[in-house]
Structure 1
Amino acid sequence: MKLINGFKDFILRGNVIDLAVAVVIGAAFTGIVTSLVNGLINPIIAAIGGAPDLEGAWVMPLRTIVEDGEPVEVGIQFGTIVSAVINFVIVAAVVYFFIVTPVNRLLALRRKGEVEAPKAPAEDVLLLTEIRDLLARQSGETTRTLDT
């Protein structure tokens, strides 16, 4: 029972919930960036390189195998690597310029006293605190029932 209560305490910490929200938003944002890179940037780079798409561009052949009676070249696909690097750079730039920099600036202003910290917790924080307290009370009642 202590293991379950410890897990419940861990899950209900604000940091874990914030992390879960960040992962969901990050996954959605990564989908947008991947679509942008695959639909706009990759075709432009591939057209410059003379290939129909970046995935098939700049392949260094290593070996030819026969598959279903047809020869197929197997090789290192540099276009795919370039595409992944472009995805990473765009995601990293957006995170840095739109999340890290503004938050650091806000924290620096709060340290200087130019921007006040919020006086009251936000509604979602109050709601999560209330849920945590209710679960704590409920788990306390459950353990008392099991002990008696």
Structure 2
Amino acid sequence: MSGFKKFLIRGNLVDLAVAFVVGAAFAGLVKDFATSFITPLIALLGGKPDYTRLTVTVSGTTFPYGIFVTSTIAFVITAVIVYFLVVLPTTKLIERMDRRKEVTERECPQCLSDIPVKARRCRFCTSEVVPTAEAPH
């Protein structure tokens, strides 16, 4: 039983649970945004965007394909919103933060240990190394 307790309070499981709850709340937020703003805009441009009542009947069997069409439109709208409001800004922020990182170490070509960029000799294997162009001036 103690192993099960350790499993439940392990950091990864807790992080996953938090991510799931936040993701579900965010999905609801995006769905409501699409329902409140995007769907009415589509209705202004091309008529009523509710296709849930569309069906086709083959040999007496009814296929409600409109439900799938409506879900597909909702998925595309959600994907676009998530991409432009979450993924793109986050990617740009990470790129901006990565540009600010200063390179202070490099790999020794002989022993593969990390040494300062300006080093002329490796502190581990004492091999002579040429300072790189990346060295800050």
Question: Smaller-chain TM-score range?
Answer: 0.5 to 0.7
Task: State TM-score, norm by structure 2.
Answer: 0.55
Give per-residue Cα distances to partners, 1:67-119, cap 9 Å, x unaligned: xxxxxxx42233222211110000000000100000010000000018xxxxx
Gap regions ≥5 residues in structure 1: 65-73, 115-148
Counterpart of 2:58 in structure 1 is 62
Question: Which residues in structure 2 correspond to 1:67-146 (within 5 Å)?
Answer: 74-113=61-100
**In 2, distance between residues paired with 1:41 and 1:20?**
30
**In 1, distance between residues paired with 2:84 and 2:53?**
32
**In 2, distance between residues paired with 1:5 and 1:18?**
20
- The count of aligned residue pairs is 100
Compared CA separation, residues 83 and 43, structure 1 to 2 (3 A): farther
**In 2, distance between residues paired with 1:9 and 1:108?**
31
Gap regions ≥5 residues in structure 2: 102-137
**In 1, distance between residues paired with 2:65 and 2:46?**
12
Does structure 2 conserve the Cα–Cα contact (< 8 Å) formed by 1:43 and 1:54? no
Partner secondary structure for residue 51 of structure 2: coil
Larger radius of gyration between Structure 1 and Structure 2: 2
**In 2, distance between residues paired with 1:86 and 1:25?**
18
RMSD (Å), alpha carbons: 3.3
Partner secondary structure for residue 61 of structure 1: strand
**In 2, distance between residues paired with 1:90 and 1:41?**
11
Question: Which residues in structure 2 correspond to 1:44-55 (within 5 Å)?
Answer: 54-55=51-52
Compared CA separation, residues 79 and 37, structure 1 to 2 (3 A): farther
Q: Which has the higher helix share?
A: 1
Compared CA separation, residues 47 and 34, structure 1 to 2 (3 A): closer
Partner secondary structure for residue 93 of structure 2: helix
Task: Identify which of structures 1 and 2 has the higher relative contact order when contacts are C-alpha pairs closer than 8 Å and 6+ apart.
Answer: 1
